[in-house]
Amino acid sequence: MEIQDLAWIRRYLTCLNVERGLSINTRRSYERDLKKLHLFLNAKTKTLRNCEGNDLFLFLLDEKKQGRSARTLARYLATIRGLFSFLLIERLRSDDPTEYLTTPKLEQNLPYVLSEKVMDKLLDSSPKPDIGEKSSQEQIEESTKGESTKEETKNLVLELRDRAILEVLYSCGLRVSELTGLTLKDLSLENAYLRCRGKGNKERIVPLGEPAVQAIQNYLQEARGRLLGKKSSNLLFLNFRGGGLTRQGVWEILKKWAKKHGIKENVYPHLMRHSFATHMLDHGADLRSVQEMLGHVDISTTQIYTHVSRQHLIEVFRKAHPRAD
């Protein structure tokens, strides 16, 4: 029966992949959740065919006792509901044991964002050369003449890449998986936009700001070829071995950049996305446009940033208005 359960899970995931075009990361998340349920049921000599609503309730209760958040429990339940709905449609079961299970109430945690002042410091804090000191591009060119060490050249190349990554993340509000999946064909620097593939492999066009365009051009002209070496790749951003960047790799890049430039805040890829959306709304962008640029299917997902923006206005009022208190 254990083999049958795993076969059903694989069949369900394949169906999701075909119908909804799940990303690899989303599919892996679903698979982890369902295998965890499978192991729980197996320990109680239960299967997907004969388990009941109470068994699923006990699974969620067990996960809650292990410290899982309400959001994680809600994700588990959504995944489990999807599975049993599929089994019912496929007539592998005659009932749906999730019918009377309720979704945990979620607190609406507002996303943390960087202030515009801190963001400016993060993006404009590249060490300025002293009088007579050469730019990064000039230093890289001189390295080919033996005037810099290999380590110095590597650091200069990576700095150009990392700056381009930060500029693109903030300029476009991309998810980290969208950033790492960008290819050279996705760029249209002359028209100042890029094409990315989001959740469900859906494509969208996102504008690029002038600083991002310039940072990408510098990276392409002076750094990418040196990272690529003798390898071949269509990916835009590369690691120092010439391969594609991972999500963890981008996370490490932002951590090092922030620390190097004296930013005390915890900087991570999705924070750039949160900050992009909030700052756009602060400066008058309409919600629908921000939804389109973020690639949100449901505008209610985008609306959370209006609460952050509103909270910012309240804080400004309390600090500035003489009768705020």
Residue tagged active-site, from 38, 161, 163, 175: 175
| Lookup: tokens for 195 | 């094409």
Buried b (16+ CB within 10 A) or exposed e, 263-289: beeebbbebbbbbbbbbbbeeeeebee
* CA 195/CA 181 separation, integer angstroms: 10
Residue tagged active-site, from 12, 30, 76, 305: 305
> HSE of 32 in the Cβ direction (CA atoms, 13 Å)?
8
Residue tagged active-site, from 199, 255, 261, 312: 199
Residue with tokens 């309240």: 314
* CA 225/CA 136 separation, integer angstroms: 15
CB-count exposure of residue 166 (10 Å: 0-12, 13-18, 19+): buried
Residue tagged active-site, from 226, 273, 274, 279: 273
Judge whether 12 counts as a catalytic residue.
no
Residue tagged active-site, from 296, 310, 318, 319: 296
Judge whether 261 counts as a catalytic residue.
no
Contacts of 164 (CB under 8 A, 6+ apart): 212, 215, 216, 218, 219, 237
| Lookup: tokens for 236 | 């835009």
Residue tagged active-site, from 121, 195, 270, 312: 270
Judge whether 283 counts as a catalytic residue.
no
Rg (alpha carbons) of the chain, rounded to whole number: 24
Judge whether 11 counts as a catalytic residue.
no
Judge whether 64 counts as a catalytic residue.
no
**Catalytic center residues:** 175, 199, 270, 273, 296, 305
